Amino acid sequence: MNIAICPGSFDPITNGHLDIINRSARIFDELIVGVLVNPEKKGLFSIDERVKLIKKVVKNMPNVKVASFSGLLIDFMKERNIKVIVKGLRAVSDFEYEFQMSLMNKKLDPNIETVFMMASAMNSFLSSSSVKQVAMFGGCIEGLVPEEIIPDITQKVSEIHKNSNEP
């Protein structure tokens, strides 16, 4: 079986992420969306919440599974006998970072391959960080994230605003 992983923080999942997931799911027999704990990023959603949001979005994709992990991606992959990493690229800056990561992963396990998939032009500007910022300032996030999770994002932002205004 040809299994790949599409790792990321997905906080929240965007239409750009979903595009890469959809396209990858057509190439591989099974695709694992790996939700990782990134200590360098302050999360809007907990890991469990992110997994739930992604599962909601990919529920009609039978060959897509969602799992969370912490630690090294390579260790997670070895546990599940996954040999391919799929990474979406938006710009040259993404390539530089992801290229370094792919070389590090190759050093840690020479049997691992990384496949880079270019973002669709309509999603090339999208990032979870920009979506969070737009949402936090009350902007419209329609067309940026899957419609079915807009209420979840709106509710989370509302809770944060409510909690930050309490004495």
Residue 124 annotated as binding site? yes
Query: Known binder of ligand: residue 9?
Result: yes
Catalytic site residue from 24, 50, 102, 128: 128
Answer for the pair 29, 3: CB distance below 8 angstroms, yes or no: yes
Check 17, 50, 132, 156 and give the catalytic one: 17
Task: Determine if residue 125 is labeled as part of a ligand binding site.
Answer: yes
On whether 73 is known to bind a ligand per the annotation, the reply is yes
Q: Is 41 a catalytic residue?
A: yes
Question: Is 24 annotated to bind ligand?
Answer: no
* Secondary structure letter of residue 119 according to DSSP: P
Check if 24 is active-site: no
Tokens of 148: 């079915």
Q: Are strands 113-118 and 3-8 parallel, antiparallel or unpaired?
A: unpaired
Burial pattern 134-151, b for ≥16 Cβ within 10 A else e, equals bbeeeeebeebbbeebbe
Q: At what angle do helices 150-164 and 128-136 cross, to 10 degrees?
A: 60
Q: Pick the catalytic residue from 56, 80, 83, 90.
A: 90
Which of the residues are catalytic?
17, 41, 90, 128
Residues in binding site for substrate: 9, 41, 73, 87
Residues in binding site for ATP: 9-10, 17, 88-90, 98, 123-129
Residues in binding site: 9-10, 17, 41, 73, 87-90, 98, 123-129
